[in-house]
Structure 1
């Protein structure tokens, strides 16, 4: 009988230790209401795309929690199919702005059961259901669960195409930077220059939990609140928001997640059967979206997909980690994918860096410590890892995965990390962060 090499034994114990720690993080953050907070103190409620990634990790060790996570999120859906980015299940004074600022009740179609925000986040729920089915050991049980929830996700997609596609080109807009998920990205700097919001008086809560140098500035928050006030004044009516919001952007990450989830719904409805009408509609949306995406968001000079400012009617020509997310949704041709990956490795892939920074490290706007202005995020790395595998960039995919594991193993389950190797205390933001734990579980089982 051959004895396994020492390195394999060490790897096995490292994997088991990290998975055990990750499960502990998720269990500690799971709430009695059937949802998981991103982390204690800093984020005390349920976030839309966080819950999706969290459910993927939970599906490996506690299927009932994974099912509750998504069911609880979808239970807060509005009458028009909209799913808010935060659901305020509980009272907490550790987060600003809370339910009393967002006032979802101003919308006649908002949930009567839950307080929430009136903005959303990247639509990951469709592909999350497909991932949960892939992971589940009891396929029949998960199949039944998916059948009970999938129409709510379809209605969410229907909402986007009917209310957010202002140019009928298969691309949906976001009206607030928080909808992008990449809250304070340098992408938005030039939009803030076009605005002059009031100086609001409020008490920040995030900077009592995290170093202020790692968070958006007070003036940035003035811009964020101003956009919310415009939406509230118009009762969260999408047509009025499209007309009046100074922030109106087509985001490549947001739309790539919608396209990926479209395909997941097509796959799942095909498995379920007797849903030809929904499949046909999804295919129509999908064809239009991919065509519009490649036409409008590809920047030939940068060799990357970029954001598009609908107010100025022109692209926002910066490269971010969002630029590479279309790989996950199989949007680029193989030729274009080659260009995209070359851009990623040239700008982001130096041997002195962890993949993948959230913003172009060659830009003077890059900041390796400040939220979405440069740090590495585990959820984006998970998206890129799977996207790179789609196009058989297996070695680079493996590097993204190993970099993610190394960051967590060295520094802990943080919200985001410095991309520069050799940085002391390189983990930032919330500690014991749920999606970092959940997606590490998937990395280690993949």
Structure 2
């Protein structure tokens, strides 16, 4: 295994130092290191972070390999600075059995670019009618600990209670897509002034907030772990704040696009801005940013949702909701939060790794720890060109936007997956 010496690099914003990677771990940290056998990476002006961890990635395989594969999505993740991703269950077939989650897990191992941790479905076929094989998926080689019907809400409160009770036995997590379906039928965007002006049926904030309020009460009653996917409204933030104050075992995520883009983007009728939950208002964005800073929202998760051309480049009403996110998430975080490196490391690496139970990830570079890390040039700026993205899909809402930061290198257990900003394999 090749050794790497990163010189004069700032570790999570600290004073510049040298960092030696050898045999899969961080071997030494300190100024003036020497390793004649090592490949030298000039880290002057660069920042080293623990490898990013995404709790919410759609890799589409099996079933929609035209939009993404485990390999292409893993490459996009590595180029975005990630060393681990959690692959959501809405594939075809649905990841609701031990066999399917093991297939996704093995494909991730074969790609070898990031650690791919499958998320199992809560209900059979995501239909919301009966529980999937939660125990079998937990006991499989994939060791599933997070379960979600993402893309669909577990709307039945009795079924949601049973799921929370079931996973409590092995300290699992139910990750809820919070959307009361009876309030969003036919909805095309956020319900508000812009939807009224455009004549599009609105998706009310209360549809999200009502489910979160119900589920934190259920989680509190059961004493189980709940995770709320893609929080998007100021009202949801207040529900979560109150629940956490009571000690409910709830965590929550926000996406990069909900931290940056408002519902005004829908005025172009460009389906690239159609997403679920929809883009909200500037007031919601302000509340989400504040909640991310103070910890009411625990993490940034991409909700990377690749779609084939025919599913996006069509009329707004018929377009599939979803946006790419893996290759731009760290740049958006840097744009929104500024160079708050400890906060970025906490929200994009340490905490998501802790929630998912991913040992060896989310640990700051230090002697003896697995060398899962990313190196970023914060001074660089790049213009996003969809054709240059590693994903098989092109539905990025940031096309031709200039964003801060460039991933220079990513290491997975000491092996580079990205060097000089390019994928190694």
TM-score (norm 1): 0.29
Q: Looking at both structures, which has the greater relative contact order when contacts are Cα pairs under 8 Å and sequence separation is at least 6?
A: 2
Q: Which has the higher helix share?
A: 1
TM-score (norm 2): 0.30
